[in-house]
């Protein structure tokens, strides 16, 4: 079984580890105790992402695919922005680029004033893990860990002491209505409960940016509503970006950015 103290066994580039690493414990302390200053949390300028689909695996017949075509977008702290568009329009690619999980072919992405391209891969990974919380559609929880341990995982490499990690995990699980499920492993939680654990985990390091890919995609209406309540509540002092097909989820955002064939409409 994986222990929360053996996080080194987790691939640092895996989705499970996204947002989990920080070698600046002071960043955590500052963000926990001081409200963030209002500023554009995300500025993405003329971002183009091309893929060379040489093997034709993505249906392009071996051509270059332009997944994003000169997309610009700014998201302020305190805003919830929806990303809409049909399948293949570039939503996931945009989320990955905004989160620093992918480097665009052209254009610039700044998170809280830092141009991600100026950071080495290692520093970008660290920066992302301090500043960006990701909520994946398929949760990516570690099955061997309890809900509480999954939520606390981002804090392990931040050097946060065990007791404080546990308190933070319990507080976050309480906030998403899962106080009585904290010792359950993902396998004994419903889809909606797992999604709420994933949201709590994304918030553990108190990131300034939260990016959610189809957060209600696998949920019934009522559970989806609660997840959206939580995602909009947390936007008070952070930027939240939600990609979704769900009209209702998009209605809950402050504004919607539409993509079609990689272009902003």
Q: Rule CB under 6 A: which residues touch ligand ADP?
A: 51, 53, 58, 65, 67, 85, 87-93
CA distance 19 to 225: 25
CB atoms < 10 A from the CB of 63, how many? 13
Query: Strand pairing partners for 74?
Result: 43
Whose Cβ is closer to ligand ADP: residue 36's or residue 60's? 60
Shortest approach of ligand ADP to residue 261 CB, angstroms? 8
77 burial level (CB within 10 Å; 0-12, 13-18, 19+): buried
Question: 2 or 65, CB closer to ligand ADP?
Answer: 65
Rounded CA gap, 152 and 113, in Å? Answer: 28
Tally the residues of the chain. Answer: 265
CB 253 within 8 A of CB 81: yes
Shorter beta-carbon distance to ligand ADP: residue 23 or 52 = 52
**Minimum CB distance to ligand ADP, residue 219 (Å):** 18
Query: Structure tokens of 126?
Result: 């660290």
Shortest Cβ 217–ligand ADP spacing (Å): 11
Q: Strand 255-260 to strand 263-264: parallel, antiparallel, or no bridges (unpaired)?
A: antiparallel
CB of 220 to ligand ADP, least distance (A): 23
For ligand ADP, give the closer residue by CB, 158 or 213: 213
- Specify the residue, 87 or 120, whose C-beta has the smaller distance to ligand ADP: 87
> Shortest gap between Cβ of 60 and ligand ADP (angstroms)?
7
């Amino acid at each position: 079984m994986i222990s929360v103290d053996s996080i080194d066994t987790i691939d640092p580039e895996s989705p499970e580890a996204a947002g989990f690493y920080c070698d600046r414990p002071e960043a955590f302390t500052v963000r926990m105790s001081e409200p963030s200053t209002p500023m554009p949390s995300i500025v993405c300028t003329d971002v183009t992402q091309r893929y060379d689909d040489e093997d034709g695996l993505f249906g392009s017949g071996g051509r270059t695919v332009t997944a994003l075509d000169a997309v610009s977008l700014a998201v302020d702290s305190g805003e919830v922005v929806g990303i809409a568009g049909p399948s293949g329009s570039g939503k996931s690619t945009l989320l990955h680029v905004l989160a620093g999980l992918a480097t665009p072919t052209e254009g610039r992405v700044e998170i809280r004033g830092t141009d991600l391209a100026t950071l080495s891969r290692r520093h970008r990974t660290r920066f992302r893990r301090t500043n960006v919380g990701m909520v994946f559609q398929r949760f990516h929880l570690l099955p061997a860990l309890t809900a509480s341990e999954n939520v606390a995982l981002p804090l392990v490499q931040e050097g946060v002491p065990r007791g404080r990690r546990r308190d933070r995990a319990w507080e976050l699980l309480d906030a998403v209505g899962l106080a009585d499920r904290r010792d359950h492993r993902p396998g004994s939680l419903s889809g909606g409960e797992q999604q709420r654990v994933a949201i709590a985990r994304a918030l553990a390091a108190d990131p300034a940016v939260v990016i959610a890919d189809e957060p209600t995609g696998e949920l019934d209406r009522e559970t989806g509503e609660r997840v959206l309540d939580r995602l909009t509540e947390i936007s008070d002092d952070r930027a939240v970006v939600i990609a979704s097909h769900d009209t209702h989820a998009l209605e809950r955002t402050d504004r919607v950015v539409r993509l079609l064939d990689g272009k902003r409409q």
